[in-house]
């Protein structure tokens, strides 16, 4: 007991918890980074909060986050259990991938997903061909706006969602498709349901979830979204042929068919729904939002856009579609895309982690089972790592010879064992979509509209406020 008390005396400092609610009233859950900045100034890079009875530690700055996620990777590899998702089928042996507890099931599933994504398209269309084809559809859709002002949001979401839908369910949708529109709306509203105080409270006080019908009432879109993906899977099963793997769902069904042992390893029906929904959620909004930031920055910084145009003209020309092989010859464009990710800061708080065992960080003791928030904003805008942290400055990614460099503090995908598994796919999508559109169009402000806002809207992701642009053919 004495030993334990001694250890806890080195627990990270933080604001004084109130009875029952802990420190929750002190945090602005609609803009947590503002509250975190305040606490960081007062308590330092590692501070503690308390969500009702749950211990939470927030890690700030590149050095701290790297030390935890990379140097002590396994200690920080767990995820907190999220009772709010039980109404979607989340639970023992079906935790999906993103929110799975660290352990055997997660390891199996992560390995399977990475391999399937990597092998995807072998002998058929490669992933790059698919992305290039979709970029072509997006270009045509933008051309048909005829140079008039439009909000790029819907078309960009469509295109990105199509890539991940094709990988996962073997289906792409036409941009005018009604079902697809419904899916995208459900999707957006699902994210908004995540924001704010109530979901946080329900996670730490799950007894409230026993109130009949409450979760469905609070998260109606999430439920509808999962039902929708279930429908895609059911449709899929009707045409399933184990000899011919068309997509991720087919590969998963093949694993499931191996029987009891596979079931024990998480290859079961409800996990299929959750894992594929995970891929869609994790893989579409993030990438689409990054592209919307990219186009907004091109509007706001026309001199940067014009340098991108020049590099594309020099390396690719105006007609041939861009390929990933062009990337090494295009340091400036590559730097712009990376700076969009750094400055756009799309997943500002990462995903919650949990300590897998008692651990120490920079002299602080953090017990097993503590929820860990990695403040990625504080890494991507760390004053000790970036020359101009609060400006859009592509030169962060160029050395004095104009060659591309990637500073270590570039962690939009987080780091360590739970780091984003979609990084390769994202890199490809961002490069192909961005260069294809920049090759064909100049993006300009509609004359009669106010200058778009540069600040972000937070709802799990940081996204730009809606804006309009004109795509003038080059």
Residue 346 binding ligand HEM, by CB under 6 A: yes
Nearest to ligand HEM of 200, 341 (CB atom): 341
CB of 286 to ligand HEM, least distance (A): 4
Closest by CA to 361, choosing from 12, 33, 112, is 12
Q: Which of 59, 68, 82, 97 binds ligand HEM (CB under 6 A)?
A: 97
CB of 328 to ligand HEM, least distance (A): 21
Q: Which of 222, 414, 436, 439 binds ligand HEM (CB under 6 A)?
A: 414
Q: Specify whether the CB–CB gap between 159 and 135 falls below 8 A.
A: yes
Q: Which of 64, 334, 370, 426 binds ligand HEM (CB under 6 A)?
A: 426
Residue 421 binding ligand HEM, by CB under 6 A: yes
CB of 252 to ligand HEM, least distance (A): 14
Nearest to ligand HEM of 74, 313 (CB atom): 74
Nearest to ligand HEM of 309, 386 (CB atom): 386
Residue 350 binding ligand HEM, by CB under 6 A: yes
CB of 460 to ligand HEM, least distance (A): 11
Residue 98 binding ligand HEM, by CB under 6 A: yes
Dihedral of the alpha carbons of 297, 457, 188, 370, in degrees to the nearest 10: 120
Nearest to ligand HEM of 97, 156 (CB atom): 97
CB of 425 to ligand HEM, least distance (A): 5
CA 238 to chain centre: 31
Tell me which stretch binds ligand HEM (CB under 6 A): 133-141, 149-157, 345-353, 358-366: 345-353
Query: Residue of minimal CB distance from ligand HEM?
Result: 422
Nearest to ligand HEM of 97, 245 (CB atom): 97
CA distance 272 to 163: 19
Nearest to ligand HEM of 283, 331 (CB atom): 283
Q: Which of 315, 419, 445, 457 binds ligand HEM (CB under 6 A)?
A: 419
| 456-459/461-464 β-pairing | antiparallel
The label of the residue with tokens 């145009």 reads: 309
Q: Which of 12, 15, 152, 422 binds ligand HEM (CB under 6 A)?
A: 422
CB of 284 to ligand HEM, least distance (A): 7
Nearest to ligand HEM of 39, 112 (CB atom): 112
| Number of shown-chain residues binding ligand HEM (CB under 6 A) | 25
335 Cβ partners below 8 Å, 6+ apart?
394, 395, 396, 397, 398, 404
Tell me which stretch binds ligand HEM (CB under 6 A): 4-12, 315-323, 413-421, 451-459: 413-421
CA distance 464 to 461: 10
Q: Which of residues 272-331 bind ligand HEM (CB under 6 A)?
A: 278-279, 282-283, 286-287, 290
Nearest to ligand HEM of 233, 294 (CB atom): 294
Residue 413 binding ligand HEM, by CB under 6 A: yes
Nearest to ligand HEM of 166, 200 (CB atom): 166
Nearest to ligand HEM of 22, 279 (CB atom): 279
CB of 110 to ligand HEM, least distance (A): 5
* Contact positions vs ligand HEM (CB under 6 A): 97-98, 110, 278-279, 282-283, 286-287, 290, 346-347, 350-351, 353, 412-414, 418-422, 425-426
């Amino acid at each position: 007991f004495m030993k334990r008390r001694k250890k806890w005396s080195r627990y990270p400092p933080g604001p004084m918890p109130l009875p029952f609610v802990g420190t929750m009233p002190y945090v602005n859950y609609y803009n947590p980074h503002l509250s975190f900045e305040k606490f960081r100034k007062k308590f330092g890079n590692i501070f503690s909060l308390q969500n009702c009875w749950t211990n939470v530690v927030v890690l700030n700055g590149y050095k701290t986050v790297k030390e935890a996620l990379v140097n002590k990777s396994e200690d920080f590899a767990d995820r907190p259990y999220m009772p709010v998702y039980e109404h979607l089928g989340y639970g023992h042996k079906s935790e999906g991938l993103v929110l799975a507890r660290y352990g055997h099931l997660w390891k199996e599933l992560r390995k399977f997903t990475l391999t399937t994504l990597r092998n995807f398209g072998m002998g058929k269309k490669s992933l790059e061909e698919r992305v290039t084809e979709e970029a072509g559809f997006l270009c045509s859709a933008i051309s048909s706006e005829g140079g008039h002002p439009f909000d790029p949001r819907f078309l960009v979401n469509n295109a990105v969602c199509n890539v991940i839908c094709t990988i996962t369910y073997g289906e792409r949708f036409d941009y005018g498709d009604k079902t697809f529109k419904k899916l995208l709306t459900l999707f957006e509203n699902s994210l908004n349901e995540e924001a704010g105080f109530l979901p946080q409270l329900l996670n730490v006080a799950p007894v409230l979830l026993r109130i009949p019908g409450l979760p469905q009432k609070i998260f109606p879109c999430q439920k509808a979204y999962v039902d929708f993906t279930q429908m895609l899977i059911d449709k899929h099963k009707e045409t399933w042929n184990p000899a011919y793997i068309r997509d991720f769902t087919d590969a998963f069904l093949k694993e499931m068919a191996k029987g009891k042992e596979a079931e024990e390893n998480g290859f079961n029906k409800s996990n299929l729904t959750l894992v594929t929904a995970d891929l869609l959620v994790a893989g579409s909004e993030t990438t689409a939002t990054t592209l919307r930031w990219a186009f907004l920055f091109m509007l706001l910084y026309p001199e940067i856009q014009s340098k991108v145009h020049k590099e594309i003209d020099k390396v690719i020309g105006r007609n041939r579609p861009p390929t990933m092989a062009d990337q090494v010859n295009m340091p400036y464009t590559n730097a712009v895309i990376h700076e969009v990710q750094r400055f756009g800061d799309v997943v500002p708080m990462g995903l919650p982690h949990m300590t897998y065992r008692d651990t120490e960080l920079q002299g602080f003791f953090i017990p097993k089972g503590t929820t860990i928030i990695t403040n990625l904003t504080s890494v991507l805008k760390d004053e000790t790592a970036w020359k101009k942290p609060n400006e859009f400055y592509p030169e962060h990614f160029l050395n004095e010879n104009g060659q591309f460099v990637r500073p270590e503090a570039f962690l939009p995908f987080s780091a360590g064992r739970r780091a984003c598994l979609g990084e390769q796919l994202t890199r490809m999508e961002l490069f192909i979509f961005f260069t294809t559109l920049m090759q064909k169009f100049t993006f300009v402000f509609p004359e009669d509209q106010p200058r778009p806002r540069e600040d972000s809207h937070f709802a799990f992701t940081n996204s730009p406020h809606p804006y309009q642009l004109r795509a003038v053919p080059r």
